[in-house]
Chains A and B, each alone.
Chain A
Amino acid sequence: MNFLLPNLAPAYPEIFLLIMVCVALLAELAVGDKLHYISYLLAQIALFGCALITFTTSTPDVVYTFSGMFVDDTLADVLKLVVYITVSIFLVYSHKYVAMRGMFSGEFFSLVLFATLGMMVMISASNLLTLYLGLELLSLSLYAMVALRRDSVAATEAAMKFFILGALASGFLLYGMSLIYGATGALDVARITEVIQSGVANPKVLVVGLVFIIAGISFKLSVVPFHMWVPDVYQGAPTAVVLFIGSAPKLAAFGFIMRLLVEGMGGMVADWQGMLIILAVLSMVVGNLAAIAQTNIKRMLAYSTISHMGFMLLGIISADSNGYSSSMFYIVVYVIMTLGTFGMIMLLSREEFEVEKLDDFKGLNRRSPWYAFITLLFMFSLAGVPPTVGFYAKLSVLQAVMGVGYVWLAVVAVLFSLVGAFYYLRIVKLMYFDEPESDVPISPHGDVELLISANGMAVLVLGIFPQTLMALCVYAINQPI
């Protein structure tokens, strides 16, 4: 038998990461509980290495490998790079927080890296199986991360919900995939495309499959009505984990949509466009409205995420490369803002003091004008007010969706973003207009301080010069399609 080694080059980052995870696990065993910093450093090194590999091997060409199950194109490269950066920033923000809560262990970092690996696989998958594989790798890691604080009732409960509902969603997805497989006889994305376009597949079966797939993705994206887990998990899980769940996996989910919906089921665009419109509107409505009623900041941000994902879908709905790049831009911007916001929450949290309530932001301007200002930037950016980058995110998707004629959808979107502005403003109000409740000085680590300042400035600077990031997203999208 002639065993031909597949072209491994496109998967070098994944392979490298996998090796590094193993190294980290071994190191953990070797050094024991004392020197978790080694794990932290290893994780950062791993991410840096991945970035290096991805960056240096990046070409504008589309390369398939593993019998067409794995693809390396600009979309994959760009998304992965953003994922590495996101995860790396996440690690900086959270290491102190995690350490204070006794989660600073090797397993934490291995889980993060495994999840990252899962995301990378999702992003590069060009086969239903690889897609599913990546997704599950990511999901399982996340479930475990939520449950990492075994002694916390809230965290355990959140993990439970997350797991069960996640399993249900996975079931949906898998069922959808099998229906597609049944209708087209193919698992390969490219092949599915061909079959659907040829029109030989049973449309009813395809539609049913599509619905289930969309349900599955929607769960990951936290889109209404598959969003119910989000507020509970955000509230229950440790903030660091929430930050992780809320940021990088969205990028992966976007990759997933691109691979499966756009590339694979492009022939059914009229169908999924309609479904996504319903889901997007629901998300914007429910997310924005429900956020107003929250007093817990994490819950509020959970609903905020839901509404943002609804907004992001607008770009996908427009179903052209302009729209996809807009959505991608939206996601990237969203990730930047989420990192900053949760980073700030962790920064303000101290040992034995969790920033939970909105009121914990009271009088921040008194305690630290600089952090208040940074938070203000995040809030206005989330609300989409220029000159922050959040505005361009909204602008792009609105432009895309109006470009294909959905003016009414844009109007609905802006109206609900007006509602949304209210609860972001409330944070600003608490920080600037109210008197502080505590005067404990804020003393973050130097690295966190620096990074979160840079994060805040990024929101502003990208708000003034958004061109580069936009161009990057255009570059990523335009190549494969």
Chain B
Amino acid sequence: MLLGFPLLSLVIWLPIFIGILVFATGGDRNARLAKWLALAGSVLSLLVAIPLYAQFDSIMSGMQFIEYHAWIERFNVHYHLGVDGISMPLILLNCFITPLVVIAGWQVINNRVSQYMGAFLVMSGIVNGVFSSLDAILFYVFWEASLIPMFLIIGVWGGPNRVYAAIKFFLYTLMGSLLMLVAFIYLYNVSGGSFSILDYHKLPLPLAPQILIFIAFLLAFAVKVPMWPVHTWLPDAHVEAPTGGSIVLAAILLKLGGYGFLRFSLPIVPDASQYLSGMMIGLSLIAVVYIGLVALVQADMKKLIAYSSVSHMGFVTLGFFLFNAYGIEGAMVQMISHGFISGAMFLCVGVMYDRLHSRQISDYGGVANKMPIFSVFFMLFAMANAGLPGTSGFVGEFMVIMAAIKVNFWYAFFAATTLIFGAAYTLWMYKRVVFGAVASSKVEGLVDVTGREILILTILAAAVLWMGVYPLPLTEVMHATVDDLLAHLSRSKL
């Protein structure tokens, strides 16, 4: 056993360290070196993360792989790491996505390669830090730090309107998190000088401050998720970001918000969560229905998928606030699955964009004629996006709908409309892009996916199918933690 081995630290700092090495390879003259180094680093990070799953004790509900060191004595801040059944899968997801992003940018990024690759690696480490921090300040540091690489990725390698998108992304998310910081400090003062998240879980609080803290957390997490109506940064950010950026944004960064709800909102302010659950469910359902309809009329593929992301993440927040095991586990599954699917969808759009330099649906048509292999993959992911059983997209939605019906039929009713809207916007786009006769001379010139692209798409496809056909290994590790969380939620802190 690796008892006492600082595995989590390794998972955090290894990619950051290699990322810095990648930066250090310098300008574009050493692009090849930078790429290979980045690939090696990301794969290595994935490998070192595997013991997290392999050695995870799924019977235990508490934190595992704990590391605890003094850090800032002035504020009693500790370098306190640990994972449970909620955070561990997310770390794995993150480590899984990073190599794909590196490969996805392999030939496409020719400009400031080392900075691009390095930024992703650093971000990967930072995100692992977010998921494994058990100290509020440590968490916050990682949380905010993750903004910087993404800001640069969008701004430097993004599309024509990238500046607006990048700044909108940064300020929107910063707005939410600053209030979260205020909430942390409040809790620090109330708890008699502790920034330990686990201490906060036990801290009794009256309802009024609970509600205020809930709202502060809500702003931070809702922006990340993103929930309606603070979602408008996402379509802009996605449209402008380079493919890798979009993948990471959708697959990983949105999960930070969902994770925050589980780690902070629900356990720290359970009474306020119960009290405001109606509002949260309402907002989630608006996200599902309203955004589903908005996605329907998008002319830009990335925007469409971005809206689809918002809609799918609506299921995540919906699941959380139903307060039953199906809901929370379903939401967790949905987060992981959305990581694969949205990543894959953005990748597919990226594959086409690299060839035609357009994301407008109207510029395509009949892609299947020229890119048959690609079309098969795209079909699989589109179907997964539409929540087809047998793909990962179904599992989470199914569980959340089951959870919703337990609480209120109408919640489930509105949630289930995604069956129709999700299929409508995804397949309608698919139809216009892939089916039909070759639409233009540009489409005529398309060439099918390269080996490199097939590799990434295959890995993602395998993940999507595996999770759809056999989600047990994933849900298994969450039970103990989720049960614990639910038991905790049912006890009032007033």
Contact = CB atoms under 8 A, between A and B. Distances in A.
Direct contact of A and B (CB under 8 A): yes
Interface of A: 365, 369, 376, 380, 385-387, 391-392, 395-396, 398-399, 402-403, 407, 410-411, 414-415, 417-418, 421-422, 425-426, 428-429, 432-433, 466-467, 470-471, 474
A399 B73 CA distance: 14
Contacts of A407: 182, 186
Contacts of B148: 376, 380, 385
A156 B236 CA distance: 48
Contact of A474 (B74, B171, B179): B74
A385 B189 contact: no
Nearest to A410: B182
A410 B166 CA distance: 27
B147 interface: yes
B315 interface: no
B414 interface: no
B474 interface: no
B72 A391 contact: no
A470 B74 contact: yes
Contacts of A399: 75, 185, 188-189
- Secondary structure of the B contact surface, majority rule: helix
Given A386-B145, A391-B144, A398-B182, A429 B163 contact: yes
A467 B74 contact: yes
A387 B141 contact: yes
A411 B152 CA distance: 28
A432 B375 CA distance: 36
B155 A432 contact: yes
A461 to B, nearest CB: 13
Given A399-B189, A402-B185, A421-B171, A386 B140 contact: yes
A429 B174 contact: no
A211 B388 CA distance: 71
A417 B141 contact: no
B170 interface: yes
Given A395-B75, A433-B162, 18 more contacts: A380-B148, A385-B144, A385-B147, A385-B148, A387-B145, A391-B141, A396-B74, A398-B185, A402-B185, A411-B182, A418-B171, A418-B178, A421-B174, A425-B171, A429-B155, A429-B163, A433-B163, A466-B72
Contacts of B456: none
A418 B174 contact: yes
B30 to A, nearest CB: 13
B71 interface: yes
Q: A interface, by DSSP: helix, strand, loop or mixed?
A: helix
Interface residues of B, number: 36
Interface in B137-182: 137, 140-142, 144-145, 147-148, 151-152, 155-156, 162-163, 166-167, 170-171, 174-175, 178-179, 181-182
Interface string B94-124: 0000000000000000001001000000000
A425 B170 contact: yes
A421 B174 CA distance: 9
11 contacts: A365-B156, A369-B115, A395-B137, A398-B185, A403-B189, A418-B174, A428-B155, A432-B156, A433-B155, A467-B71, A467-B72
A422 B167 contact: yes
Contacts of A380: 148
B144 A386 contact: yes
B167 A429 contact: yes
A433 B152 CA distance: 8
Contact of A422 (B71, B144, B171): B171
Contacts of A474: 74
Contacts of A369: 27, 115
Nearest 6 A/B pairs, CB to CB: A414-B178, A386-B141, A470-B74, A433-B155, A386-B144, A467-B72
A403 B189 CA distance: 6
B165 to A, nearest CB: 11
B166 A429 contact: yes
Contacts of B163: 429, 433
A402 B75 contact: no
Contacts of A426: 167
Interface in B440-456: none
B167 A425 contact: yes
Contacts of A376: 148
Nearest to B176: A418
Contacts of A417: 178
B202 to A, nearest CB: 21
A392 B77 CA distance: 12
Nearest to B137: A395
Contacts of A410: 182, 185
B167 A414 contact: no
Contact of B73 (A395, A425, A428, A471): A471
Contacts of B174: 385, 418, 421
A167 to B, nearest CB: 40
A414 B179 contact: yes
A474 B27 CA distance: 44
Nearest to B181: A414
A367 B130 CA distance: 33
Contacts of B171: 418, 421-422, 425
Contacts of A385: 144-145, 147-148, 174
A224 B148 CA distance: 31
A399 B115 CA distance: 36
Contacts of A466: 72, 74
B180 to A, nearest CB: 10
B115 A395 contact: no
Most chain-B Cβ atoms within 10 A of its Cβ — which of A380, A398, A414? A414
